[in-house]
């Protein structure tokens, strides 16, 4: 009973399409978190940054009648909220974990507070199709059986996420800027001595995490769901952070981790037909993670200066 | 580098801001004394909400509507305390019990906290939506000062099932968006009693109306994750060819309504009338938490507090079906009405356990 159903699920395009979509949704905040952590700033705020992006995206799209201005608003809102985390962590050297959690709580409270005001307590309607991020159809490629729906009929942000993944992998490991980011995260004093502006690099990386998480929020509300809901991110920002660590702080590794989470997320409801408890299946993404961590990934090491505020005069 | 006091002051201010913002949805113990005039002051009642805020378009909001209605009529002192996390339950309920005569808790999840607080405040009265007070092991504690407010969700679920079953029975000729596989579906948030009651009623009555119908049931393990319910509904529609999707998963389930819209099939909302979400919603199985709170407070003020109140069902408007859409064939409404009459008269008893 179990294996025939598993087999049927694994060869269905619907399953892979959903898995990749979930993975892409996690990938954007994971890449953002990765940049922040690589530069030495712990970032737990992706959850809140995504939520604020999802909210502002929908509200801007409705207000301006343009989905693209909605996306822009989401990205900027994420960036601004991340700027708060940057100021608190970098300038004021506050505890970065606390700051991240405060931002998540603030984003949840703020959206819960604003939503009923903007909708006069009526609850938000679904967005018109014109205000949603388009699902792309890559012409004849989209019609290939199996591969077409899985790879060539995804939302536009899916492809943007892949481009950003390649871009950040290249940026971090093939460019001067990437070298600086990594140096700042590993040994800020040495980087400072070599003439790198530690704080500027960290600011840029933390704000980027906000831009990317905001984009993920827009992907969720304007792309996938077509509506905003209270707490609709439902912890995915935290899963993204887990993907960063699980992926050994590399973009490609994080992407692979996001794929594992995405597969688990799509697999668990589809296996409910086997008669296994839904509660048990709900733990599947996390069981997969444990198995992968023990079996494949091994030890992961955070950047040496991760979470340590930089004080030039302290040595 | 900079070690002056100013930055730390700013940090504290920021953290304070964060806390204030996160508390923004409420923690507004707005007090409102009546203008006087009545000879005996009405007993005060405090509403303690669950997580999600007063405007959650769900039970908190609905409970508040009933509470405000009772408050408007009976003019007692108004106090609403919003819970921000599950860790707040005990402290909020305690604060409420110390400052008023009756405390109404919104939600299943408060059951253990309420048990603890009700035992500590035996002279105060309590009412809890959707649950009895439970001890640490999760068993019902029948306390004399706690009124569990239960609903027969299965009756509302049944009416949703009648709509879906009757549409399947009438077939494509009457409802053009049906996929022709005689399959309907439900998505539950978690397999907990209030959710399963709805689904059980839906299954039972859909099959009673159309014995040939298949009812596919999945659980999303979430009440928030909109994308997840959307994926599950997409899968039910494309793989099982389900064409009426009943969501019993709160904000997560809104994703299911959206999937039904995108795939061009029908959907049924839950708890409150969800026809505003999109036009795939043909009806909503509703649970009148407002009615339950209103009736309970009214009874309490009249000195008729009972620790074993009758469950809220079709006979006292505690549950029902709302927003039957014009896209539903005209033949469906009379069948729904017949089921309402039969349930009220006791001719049909709707089961509350989901058939696997």
pLDDT in tens, A56-79: 999 999 999 999 999 999 999 999
Interface test with A, best of B3, B8, B25 (most A CBs within 10 A): B25
Asked if residue B279 has pLDDT above 80, the reply is: yes
Helix (H, G, I), strand (E, B) or coil at A312: helix
What is the chain B residue with the closest CA to A282? B221
What pLDDT digit, counting tens, does each position of A91-124 carry? 999 999 999 999 999 999 899 888 877 776 666 7
Q: B26-149: which CATH number, 3.90.1150.10, 3.30.70.260, 3.40.50.261, 3.40.50.2300? A: 3.40.50.2300
Residue among B199, B214, B210, B201 nearest B166 (CA):
B210
In this predicted complex, what is the ipTM? Answer: 0.91
pLDDT at A121: 63
pLDDT at B31: 43
Confidence category of residue B24, pLDDT binned at 50, 70, 90: very low
What would the DSSP string read from start to end of B290-326? HHHHHHHHHHHHTT---SSPPPB-GGGTSEEEE---T
The sign one gets for the Cα dihedral A64, A66, A70, A73 is negative
Is A266 within 8 Å of B231 when comparing Cβ atoms? Answer: yes
Average per-residue pLDDT for chain A: 92
Alpha-helical runs (H) found in A121-197: 147-151, 156-174, 176-186, 188-193
Sheet containing strand B281-287, edge to edge, reads B214-219, B183-188, B242-248, B266-271, B281-287, B319-322
What would the DSSP string read from start to end of A44-100? -THHHHHHHHHHHHHHHHHHHT-HHHHHHHHHHHHHHHHHHHHIIIIIS---HHHHH
Confidence category of residue A313, pLDDT binned at 50, 70, 90: low
Asked if residue A229 has pLDDT above 80, the reply is: yes
Calpha distance B69→B52 (Å, rounded): 21
A15, A109, A233: residue with CB nearest B21: A109
How many Cβ pairs closer than 8 A exist between chain A and B? 158
Q: Are B323 and B332 in contact (CB under 8 A)?
A: no
Confidence category of residue B3, pLDDT binned at 50, 70, 90: very low
pLDDT at A123: 66
Match 């003439």 to its residue by tokens. A195
Residues of A in contact with B231 (CB under 8 A): 18, 21-22, 265-266, 269
Sheet containing strand B102-105, edge to edge, reads B78-82, B45-49, B102-105, B125-129, B146-149
Q: Are A55 and A217 in contact (CB under 8 A)?
A: yes
Q: In the structure encoding, which two tokens stand for residue A286, read together?
A: 């996390």
Q: B6 vs chain A: nearest CA distance in angstroms?
A: 9
Residues of A in contact with B235 (CB under 8 A): 14-15, 18, 269-270
The stretch B97-113 carries a mean pLDDT of 92
Confidence category of residue B20, pLDDT binned at 50, 70, 90: very low
What domains can be seen in chain A, in order of their start residue? 2-309 (1.10.3470)
pLDDT at B41: 78
> Pick the residue with more confidence: B259 or A283?
B259
Average per-residue pLDDT for chain B: 88
The stretch B214-219 carries a mean pLDDT of 96
Instruction: Decide if B305 touches A, using CB distance below 8 A.
Output: no
Asked if residue A170 has pLDDT above 50, the reply is: yes
Asked if residue B14 has pLDDT above 80, the reply is: no
Calpha distance A44→A30 (Å, rounded): 11
Residue among B195, B201, B155 nearest B345 (CA):
B155
Is A113 within 8 Å of B25 when comparing Cβ atoms? Answer: yes
pLDDT at B34: 43
The stretch B116-132 carries a mean pLDDT of 94
Number of Cβ within a 10 Å radius of residue B121: 17
Looking at residue A117, the DSSP 8-state letter turns out to be H
A25, A126, A233: residue with CB nearest B278: A126
Is A18 within 8 Å of B235 when comparing Cβ atoms? Answer: yes
Residues of B in contact with A116 (CB under 8 A): 53-55
Q: List chain B domain ranges.
A: 26-149, 153-287+314-345
pLDDT at B10: 46
The stretch B131-155 carries a mean pLDDT of 91
Do the bridges between strand B281-287 and strand B319-322 make them parallel or antiparallel, or are there none, so unpaired? Answer: antiparallel
Q: B76 vs chain A: nearest CA distance in angstroms?
A: 24
Helix (H, G, I), strand (E, B) or coil at A299: coil
Is A282 within 8 Å of B252 when comparing Cβ atoms? Answer: no
Label residue B163 exposed, middle or buried (CB < 10 Å: 0-12, 13-18, 19+). Answer: buried
What pLDDT digit, counting tens, does each position of A1-32 carry? 788 999 999 999 999 999 999 999 999 999 99
Number of Cβ within a 10 Å radius of residue A134: 12
Looking at the structure, give the CATH architecture of the domain made up of residues B153-287+314-345.
Answer: 3-Layer(aba) Sandwich (3.40)
pLDDT at A288: 76
Calpha distance B210→B331 (Å, rounded): 14
pLDDT at B5: 43
The stretch B146-155 carries a mean pLDDT of 95
Instruction: Decide if B1 touches A, using CB distance below 8 A.
Output: yes
Is B226 within 8 Å of A279 when comparing Cβ atoms? Answer: no
Asked if residue B192 has pLDDT above 90, the reply is: no
Q: Are A281 and A70 in contact (CB under 8 A)?
A: no
Query: Considering the entire predicted model, what is its pTM?
Result: 0.86
pLDDT at B18: 46
pLDDT at B351: 95
Residues of B in contact with A12 (CB under 8 A): 239
Residues of B in contact with A266 (CB under 8 A): 231
What pLDDT digit, counting tens, does each position of B41-90 carry? 789 999 999 887 777 777 888 899 999 999 999 999 999 998 888 889 99
Number of Cβ within a 10 Å radius of residue A308: 16
CA distances from B288 to A219, B108, B135, B285 (A): 34, 15, 27, 10
Calpha distance B342→A106 (Å, rounded): 50
B26-149 against B153-287+314-345: fold identical: yes
Element (H, E) at A199: helix A198-218
Residue among B110, B63, B39, B92 nearest B295 (CA):
B63
3-state helix, strand and coil shares in percent for chain B, rounded to the nearest 5: 45, 20, 40
Percentage of the residues of chain B whose pLDDT score is greater than 90: 73
pLDDT at A293: 72
Q: Are B241 and B181 in contact (CB under 8 A)?
A: yes
Residues of B in contact with A231 (CB under 8 A): 52, 224, 251
Calpha distance A283→A265 (Å, rounded): 9
Residue-wise burial string across A80-111, b where 16 or more C-beta atoms lie within 10 A, e elsewhere: bbbebbbbbbbbbbbbbeebbbbbbbbbbbbb
Match 């696997």 to its residue by tokens. B356
The stretch B128-139 carries a mean pLDDT of 89
Asked if residue A172 has pLDDT above 50, the reply is: yes
Asked if residue B281 has pLDDT above 80, the reply is: yes
Number of Cβ within a 10 Å radius of residue A234: 22
B11, B55, B238: residue with CB nearest A115: B55
What pLDDT digit, counting tens, does each position of B218-249 carry? 999 988 899 999 999 999 999 999 999 999 99
Sequence-ordered list of residues with C-beta below 8 angstroms from that of A90, at least 6 positions apart, any chain: A41, A199, A202, A203, A206, A309, A310
> Pick the residue with more confidence: A237 or B137?
A237
Do the bridges between strand B281-287 and strand B242-248 make them parallel or antiparallel, or are there none, so unpaired? Answer: unpaired
What pLDDT digit, counting tens, does each position of A236-271 carry? 999 999 999 889 999 999 999 999 999 999 999 999
pLDDT at A241: 92
Match 């481009």 to its residue by tokens. A163
Instruction: Decide if B232 touches A, using CB distance below 8 A.
Output: yes
């Amino acid at each position: 009973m179990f294996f025939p159903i598993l087999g049927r699920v694994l060869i269905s395009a619907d399953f892979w399409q959903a898995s990749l979509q979930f993975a892409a949704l996690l990938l954007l905040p994971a890449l953002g978190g990765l940049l922040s952590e690589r530069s030495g700033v712990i970032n737990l705020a992706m959850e809140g940054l995504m939520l604020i992006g999802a909210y502002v995206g929908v509200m801007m799209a409705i207000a301006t009648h343009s989905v693209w201005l909605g996306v822009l608003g989401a990205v900027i809102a994420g960036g601004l909220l991340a700027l708060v985390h940057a100021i608190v962590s970098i300038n004021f050297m506050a505890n970065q974990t606390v700051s991240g959690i405060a931002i998540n709580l603030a984003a949840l409270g703020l959206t819960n507070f604003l939503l009923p005001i903007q909708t006069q307590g009526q609850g938000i309607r679904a967005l018109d199709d014109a205000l949603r991020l388009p699902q792309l159809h890559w012409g004849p490629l989209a019609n290939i059986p199996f591969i077409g729906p899985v790879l060539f009929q995804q939302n536009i942000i899916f492809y943007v996420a892949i481009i950003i993944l390649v871009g950040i992998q290249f940026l971090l490991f093939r460019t001067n800027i990437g070298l600086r980011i990594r140096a700042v995260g590993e040994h800020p004093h040495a980087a400072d001595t070599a003439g790198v502006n530690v704080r500027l690099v960290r600011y840029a990386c933390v704000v980027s995490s906000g831009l990317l998480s905001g984009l993920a929020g827009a992907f969720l509300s304007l792309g996938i769901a077509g509506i905003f809901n209270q707490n609709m991110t439902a912890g995915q920002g935290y899963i993204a952070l887990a993907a960063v660590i699980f992926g050994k702080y590399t973009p490609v590794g994080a992407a692979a981790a996001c794929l594992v989470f995405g597969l688990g997320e799509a697999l668990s409801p589809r296996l409910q037909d086997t008669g296994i408890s839904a509660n048990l299946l709900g733990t599947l993404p996390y069981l997969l993670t444990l198995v992968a961590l023990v079996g494949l990934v091994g030890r992961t090491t955070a950047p040496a200066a991760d979470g340590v505020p930089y004080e030039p005069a302290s040595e | 580098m900079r070690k002056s006091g100013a930055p730390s002051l700013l940090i504290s201010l920021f953290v304070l801001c964060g806390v204030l913002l996160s508390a923004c949805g409420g923690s507004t113990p707005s007090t409102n004394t009546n203008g006087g005039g009545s000879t005996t002051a009405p007993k005060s009642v405090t509403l303690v909400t669950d997580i999600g805020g007063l405007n959650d378009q769900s039970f908190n909001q609905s409970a508040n509507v009933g509470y405000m209605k009772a408050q408007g009529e009976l003019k007692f002192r108004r106090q609403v305390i919003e819970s921000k996390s599950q860790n707040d339950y005990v402290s909020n309920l305690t604060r409420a019990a110390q400052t008023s005569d009756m405390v109404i808790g919104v939600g299943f999840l408060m059951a253990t906290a309420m048990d603890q607080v009700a035992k500590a405040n035996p002279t105060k009265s309590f009412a809890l939506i959707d649950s009895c007070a439970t001890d640490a092991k999760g068993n019902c504690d029948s306390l004399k000062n706690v009124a569990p407010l239960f609903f027969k969700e299965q009756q509302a679920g049944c009416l949703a099932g009648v709509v879906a079953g009757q549409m399947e029975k009438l077939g494509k000729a009457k409802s053009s968006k049906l996929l022709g596989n005689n399959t309907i579906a439900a998505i539950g948030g978690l397999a907990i009693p209030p959710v399963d009651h709805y689904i059980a009623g839906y299954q039972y009555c859909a099959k009673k109306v159309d014995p040939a119908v298949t009812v596919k049931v999945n659980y999303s393990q979430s009440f928030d994750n909109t994308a997840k319910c959307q994926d599950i509904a997409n899968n039910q529609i494309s793989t099982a060819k389900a064409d009426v999707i009943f969501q019993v998963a709160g904000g997560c389930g809104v994703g299911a309504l959206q999937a039904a819209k995108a795939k061009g099939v029908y959907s049924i909302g839950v708890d409150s009338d969800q026809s505003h979400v999109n036009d795939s919603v043909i009806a909503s199985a509703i649970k009148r938490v407002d009615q339950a709170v209103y009736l309970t407070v009214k009874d309490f003020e009249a000195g008729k507090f009972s620790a074993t109140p009758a469950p809220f069902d079709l006979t006292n408007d505690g549950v029902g079906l709302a927003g039957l859409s014009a896209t539903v064939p005209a033949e469906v409404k009379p069948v729904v009405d017949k089921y309402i009459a039969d349930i009220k008269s006791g001719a049909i008893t709707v089961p509350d356990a989901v058939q696997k």
